[in-house]
Structure 1
């Protein structure tokens, strides 16, 4: 006789809020969440189709919205991309309809992305030998804008080394 009976059923899993759960399981729990899941899956499928229909520079900067009354909202990162989308709108609309999307028109909007932090300023470091070589070169050159720039650069890097020497 087998340990596993053919008539046995696994007990249904109980909800335990302390255990991690797959998002799909959470979204299937109620009717309201099922509708949300369907909308999220629709937007994801639309994003994939747009990614294959649009050039890379557009696909990475355009986000689809929901389809409402046959109108698909597309959100571009800035005005230039929105203008380019409006330029290819008839072809894009036709391609989406051929792929089975129930879209009659496109509504193109600009949704700027949040500003990213600028990169930190460069902190160039020069060795003492490099700074002294620049200083010697600046002294060897006749008076000119180049000679002044080299002297200023050598002095700036030599001044950074001054606190290190005091230690």
Structure 2
């Protein structure tokens, strides 16, 4: 007999993948959590439609507690902009049926995005040779100097390998 007994009444089998919504509906504690998650998701949708794109993508809603909605901005400049439009945003949220009397705007810095990796361009030996020939055929100029440096750099890389 398996240590996981299947409950034939609910169709629950711990060995099979399950939808998160089904798991959250199983107990009263999880139902409350699901309601909170759905509320934040609905708030996010409404904020996305009410705010300009640059704000909507950098503002996250918190929970509503005692009629106060916490909004988390990615940085101080966005928080300042939210404070400027706070009265209109509050009125729009109330018009959409949210039981909100005030907004509390906080800054919650976003994790830094990884910088783009440095370019790793490679030039074939034939390409470097052609670039060198082109540089030698030109009159002395800044372009000719730049092409000569580029050809020398790529010829040196080709010789190292």
TM-score band (shorter)?
A: 0.7 to 0.9
1:68 aligns with 2:72: no
SS at match of 2:63: strand
Task: Provide the rounded CA distance (Å) in 1 between the counterparts of 2:131 and 2:25.
Answer: 70
In the aligned structure 1, how far is the partner of 2:17 from the partner of 2:154? 55
Establish whether residue 26 from structure 1 lines up as the match of residue 23 from structure 2. yes
Cα distance in structure 1, aligned partners of 2:136 and 2:25: 77
State the SS of the aligned residue for 1:157: helix
TM-score (norm 2): 0.84
The size of the alignment, in residue pairs, is: 154
Q: Partners in 1 of 2:139 and 2:13 — Cα distance?
A: 81
**What residue ranges of structure 2 are gaps of 5+ in the alignment?**
1-7
Larger Rg: 1
Partner SS state of residue 20, structure 1: coil
Q: 1:83 aligns to what?
A: 80
Q: Structure 2 vs 1, CA of residues 29 and 139 (structure 1 numbering), >3 Å: closer, same or farther?
A: same
Residue deviations 1:21-42, cap 9 Å, x none?
2212211222211111111111
Give, in angstroms, the shift of residue 145 of structure 1.
4.3
Q: What is the deviation of 1:163?
A: 3.9
How far off its partner does 1:100 sit?
A: 0.8
